[in-house]
Amino acid sequence: MIPSCSESLNLFRSYKSGNDSDLAKCFNDYPCKKDQKSIHINCGGVEARIGDKVYEADQEPAGPAKFHPLRAHWGFSSTGNILESKEHTHIVNNVSRLTMKDAELYTVARFSPLSITYYGRCLANGRYTVTLHFAEIVFRDNKSYHSLGRRAFDVYIQVECSYFLRIFWIYRCFLE
């Protein structure tokens, strides 16, 4: 039985169950009014306009185990807590000067020590191009686990009931 779709709901699983209907129940209050042809999210940041695309704001503080159906067509689940941190927002800010193209997408980011899962909904049937923007925006030179630069991203995209997986090592790609 699924708990209420509230701040304490943890949707992270270490295994693939045969039934994903629990997640669907959480969206019952958010019916699809029309099919979407695209979704652009500025994860952790404010709304940003890049060319003809508007990246929707994603500034919900999140926390160690929360589910957020922020819009009718997307939401996210965040799990994990950093014990040494007194911060409860799970959003980090870049403190260095950014000179790359579209820097507004890299000034703030959502983070989690365990898992962040974004759910896109109400997408019309068809072919899509998926573009993911990754950047390591917090570097520390203090030899702690913060400074190791070993961020791994497992990216799962469901296509016709199968998943494609690619692991991104941000710091290694940056150095090579």
Q: Which residue has the higher pLDDT, 18 or 97?
A: 97
At residue 171 the predicted structure's pLDDT band, cuts being 50, 70 and 90, is very low
Closest by Cα among 143, 132, 75, 74 to 106:
132
Q: Is residue 6 part of a domain?
A: no
103: containing domain: 33-175
At residue 175 the predicted structure's pLDDT band, cuts being 50, 70 and 90, is very low
pTM for the model stands at 0.72
Q: Is residue 19 part of a domain?
A: no
Q: Is residue 56 part of a domain?
A: yes
Q: Is residue 18 part of a domain?
A: no
pLDDT digits (tens, 9 = 90+) for 55-70: 999 888 766 666 666 6
CA distances from 75 to 42, 115, 165 (A): 12, 14, 21
Residues with Cβ within 8 Å of residue 95, at least 6 apart in sequence:
138
Q: Is residue 99 part of a domain?
A: yes
Closest by Cα among 152, 87, 140 to 115:
152
Question: What is the Cα–Cα distance from 7 to 79, expressed in whole angstroms?
Answer: 11
Q: Tell me how many domains the chain contains.
A: 1
Q: Is residue 73 part of a domain?
A: yes
pLDDT digits (tens, 9 = 90+) for 66-94: 666 667 788 887 777 766 666 666 788 88
